[in-house]
Amino acid sequence: MRWIPPLFIALFVVLITSVMACGSVEPSQELLQLEQELRSEDTRQFREIPNAARYHEEARQYRRVSREAQEDGRGQRSQEYAILGLLRLQTAEAIYLQFQNIDELNEINAQVQQVDPQIREYTQARNELAQELQILDREIKQAKSGTASLASGEGGGDIVAQANERIAQADELRQEALEHNADEYDRTRSLFERAESQLERAKDLLSDNPRTAHRQAGFAVQLYEEANEIAIPLHAEMVEKMQPDNRIRAIQELASANYSGRFTENLPNGVRIIMARLFEPNEEDFRRETDAMLNVLADIVGEYQEFTVRIEGYTQAGGGATQNRTLSQVRAQRVRNTLIEAGIDGDRIETEGFGQSEIRYPGSPDNNDRVEVVFRHSER
């Protein structure tokens, strides 16, 4: 064996040490934590929610580049990437929890709706009692005044004619109250119904007891006047609210608040809601945790009845185009059936399947397993 000079051996050791120094370093605690959380089953559920899925995917990408930097010996850069990945994962978790809370909120709202009718019933009973006392007081005063007037012959003419005149006046006020929807508003419905009862009694008593009929018609006049006075500003506010432009703006804001601006598109005459990741890949079945999305959709469709509804079905790329088009049509029909089960008139809803012809999310294939719901105002 040839003798190797000590100097050469020393240089060789230095070279090996330098190469090893340029190699991988120990992974940071942040990288280990990121990898552990990404392996967690709870974290994987973030992929089921469109917004959370995007941040979950970004966290995975930061894990990859952090691991590459660690293997290249760039420890500080690896740690920075891992921290960014953890932040993305925290954002995904926040979005996921917010989406999960929708179901809890719906349950709470359902409980509140069960209590509210009782509260409203007690409040309405109290208000009706107060109105009853006011009406009774007026009845007593007017009965005294009316009896004295008729007994003394004041006003002249036949009492039957006077009763008919008062009934006609009540009918006119009734029509005016109906024009302002006094029979529909919570604050005026009770007054209107009482006026209806008084007017009906007046007409029934006209032939047999015109004096009492005259008095009952007078009570109806007062009640219709009071109901109409309250209903006029309520009706004006409702008319303004129901203007097409205001209704379009309202449904756009409601859609954006519930589905986020990323998954809504404002149209000149309505709004488009993109319900991404609604279905299992290559299947017609809804994903888990989509009930809240569909329930909100049913509420919007039910509230904005002057809007036409078009449900467009889509799939991700891959497979046969004809098969995907059929699948997308089935998906759109499933959403329509869900709305009908919620009480929506099926005649308002049309469907069409487009298959894989319009890929909206090329970087996130599962988001393309979607439907897009288009609302258009019937007067625009």
Residues in the chain: 380
CATH 3.30.1330.60 intervals, the chain? 244-377
- For the full predicted model, state whether its pTM sits above 0.75: no
| Span 143-171, average pLDDT | 69
Token pair, residue 100, equals: 């999960």
Yes or no: is domain 244-377 CATH 3.40.50.720?
no
46: DSSP letter: G
Q: What is the pLDDT of residue 19?
A: 44
Least confident of 57-71, 102-116, 278-292: 102-116
pLDDT band at 155 (very low <50, low <70, confident <90, very high): very low
**Greatest mean pLDDT range, 72-76, 159-163, 340-344:** 340-344
Choice between 96 and 160, residue whose per-residue pLDDT is larger = 160
User: What whole-number distance in Å separates Cα of residue 364 and Cα of residue 369?
Assistant: 10
What pLDDT, in 10s, does the model give residues 100-113?
666 565 566 556 55
Q: What is the pLDDT of residues 217-249, one digit of tens each?
A: 999 999 999 999 999 999 999 999 999 999 999
Report the DSSP beta bridge partners of residue 373: 273, 311
Q: How far apart are CA 50 and CA 257, in angstroms?
A: 15
Lowest-confidence segment of 47-51, 170-174, 197-201 by average pLDDT: 47-51
Give CA–CA dist 89/58, Å, rounded.
8
Question: Is the Cα torsion angle 256, 259, 264, 267 positive or negative in sign?
Answer: negative
How high does pLDDT run on average in the chain? Answer: 84
| Residue 152 or 350, more confident | 350
- Where does residue 40 rank: exposed (0-12), middle (13-18), buried (19+ CB within 10 A)? exposed
52, with CB counted inside 10 A (0-12, 13-18, 19+), is buried
Q: What sign does the CA torsion over 114, 116, 119, 121 have?
A: negative
Helices (H), the chain: 6-21, 29-39, 41-44, 50-71, 75-152, 159-179, 186-205, 210-241, 244-259, 291-303, 321-341
Asked whether the predicted pLDDT for residue 333 surpasses 70, the reply is: yes
d(CA 187, CA 180): 13
pLDDT tens digit sequence for 243-269: 999 999 999 999 999 999 999 999 999
